[in-house]
Amino acid sequence: MELNVINIEGKDTGNVVELKDAIFGIEPNDHVIYLDVKRYLANKRQGTHKAKGRAEVSASTRKIKRQKGTGTARAGSMKSPLFRGGGRVFGPEPRDYTMKLNKKVKKLARMSALSYKAKDKHILVVDDFDFAIPKTKDFIKLRKNLDIADKKTLLVLAAPKKNVLLSARNLKDAKVMVVNELTTYDILNNKRLLFEKSAIDTLNKLLVMNN
């Protein structure tokens, strides 16, 4: 599959980049996509939730009524979960939600997501560029020139570029990341993928040559 390379003005440069079928043309595997997205979201959880049990709440431990003869259930103290302010039964405890997947499974998930995007023609390739200074207006103009101003966009760079990153930071529907940080979740969570030309070469090395 070949795509024309455009510049930041939205004009064709006359260059063509090849999207390898081994990455962008495979039969997508929905199950590994599910597993990788689940892993990504689980690993973002802090797992610091905590509720106090009856042994941890601060309350009087005196017996609040006699054991028998009241016509109601017996009760030991105000720490009981049955009373307001008492401890919680089976409340959440701090835990680690981290999940692990084999490298090949994660790689297959990314290639499956990229194949979906290529099939839907939601991938653009732009010639390598940089901004002289961080300026959100410049990034907005770039998206307007490429006719993706109203689309949630992920820009994938070959290497970190501080000015580009800072220019997009304040836009809620735009994200910039380096190609070696690309995840299945980020691919699927954005309507358009905008690759730098050199990022495609790096992606080929990451996903094909390292098999």
Helix (H) or strand (E) holding 2: strand 2-6
Strands 2-6 and 12-18: antiparallel
Residues 79 and 133 in one domain: no
Residues 121 and 171 in one domain: yes
pLDDT reported for residue 211: 55
One digit per residue, the tens of pLDDT, for the chain of length 211 reads: 788 888 988 888 888 888 899 999 999 999 999 999 999 999 999 999 999 999 999 988 889 889 999 999 998 899 999 999 999 999 999 999 999 999 999 999 999 999 999 999 999 999 999 999 999 999 999 999 999 989 999 999 999 999 999 999 999 999 999 999 999 999 999 999 999 999 998 998 888 755 5
The CATH number given to whatever domain includes residue 160 is: 3.40.1370.10
Residues 132, 134, 11, 182, Cα dihedral to 10°:
120
pLDDT reported for residue 206: 87
pLDDT reported for residue 10: 83
Residues 155 and 65 in one domain: no
Residues 90 and 181 in one domain: no
State how many domains the chain has. Answer: 2
Residues 105 and 172 in one domain: yes
Residues 116 and 13 in one domain: yes
pLDDT reported for residue 210: 55
What distances in angstroms separate CA 173 from CA 66, 75, 166, 169, 205, one per listed residue?
63, 56, 14, 10, 29
For 79, the domain range is: 49-96
Residues 76 and 153 in one domain: no
Using alpha carbons, select from 173, 155, 151 the residue that is nearest to residue 165: 155
> Which tokens hold the place of 101?
């997947």
The whole model's pTM is what? 0.83
Residues 86 and 177 in one domain: no
